Amino acid sequence: MKKPGEVFEDSRVYDPGIEAIVPRYDELHDAILNVPPQERTDEIRVLELGAGTGELTAKLLTRFSESSVLAVDHSEKMLAEAERKLETFGDRVDIEQGAFPDDHPASSGEFDLVISSLAVHHLSAEEKRTLFDAVFDALVPGGWFVNGDVIHFDAPHLETLSDAMIKNWVRAKGWEEEEFMERWQASDEYDDPDTLTDQLVWLRESGFDSITSIWQYYNFAVFGGQRPEDPR
């Protein structure tokens, strides 16, 4: 049975397919990787939730040359692609199958950075709040959580506008809309996006500081916060 995030039956077409339906996909990834305060040569331990085919993972490992990543996803198909793509990084990356918030994060005070891309919106509001609590605990003091994801608008006309924008984007990428939708296996039953405002409030309630939204394009946003430094 297809799982959330397995929007294409063949995971090998996920990367070109997601670029056709997520506007400014590379820009969203750049925003995620620009938020962390660490220098590119710092040794940082990273947890990625919903790593998919490892596209963002590879970008992070390349940008932060001394980083190591625990890449987590619940899809065997996606992780098979990730293993192929990330093989060149050797022991700097560990790949694990598991779900969140049920299986991960599974430890406290271990990670300098937790990231996620286009995955958390599959969770219910209560699951998001549980995840934010767990991510806070998993970070070292001063560590950051950065999430790039689909958000929901309270205003119906903005939801309609975002839907029209995506359809135009698909056509601009050279896909015939009907053909694309036949290949795209996504199901709305797996999607449960919440508003950006609600999620920023939940981050605050989980204990995060420096909470911010750094990037947004219609109903896609990059946001997050920092676990406060321990008082001296």
Mean pLDDT across the stretch 51-64?
Answer: 96
Mean pLDDT across the stretch 167-175?
Answer: 82
For residue 217, pLDDT beyond 50: yes
d(CA 5, CA 2): 9
The confidence score (pLDDT) of residue 115 equals: 98
For residue 33, pLDDT beyond 60: yes
The dotted CATH code for 11-226 is 3.40.50.150
For residue 142, pLDDT beyond 70: yes
The confidence score (pLDDT) of residue 177 equals: 64
Mean pLDDT across the stretch 70-99?
Answer: 95
d(CA 49, CA 125): 17
Whole-number average pLDDT of the chain: 89
Residue 171's pLDDT band (cuts 50, 70, 90): confident
The confidence score (pLDDT) of residue 32 equals: 98
Q: Domain limits of the chain?
A: 11-226
pLDDT tens-digit readout, 88-128: 999 999 999 999 999 999 889 999 999 999 999 999 999 99
For residue 189, pLDDT beyond 70: no
d(CA 20, CA 23): 7
Please name the residue that has the structure tokens 């400014």: 24
Q: Quote the percentage of the chain above a pLDDT of 70.
A: 86
- Nearest CA to 117 out of 203, 8, 1, 224 is that of 224
The confidence score (pLDDT) of residue 3 equals: 47
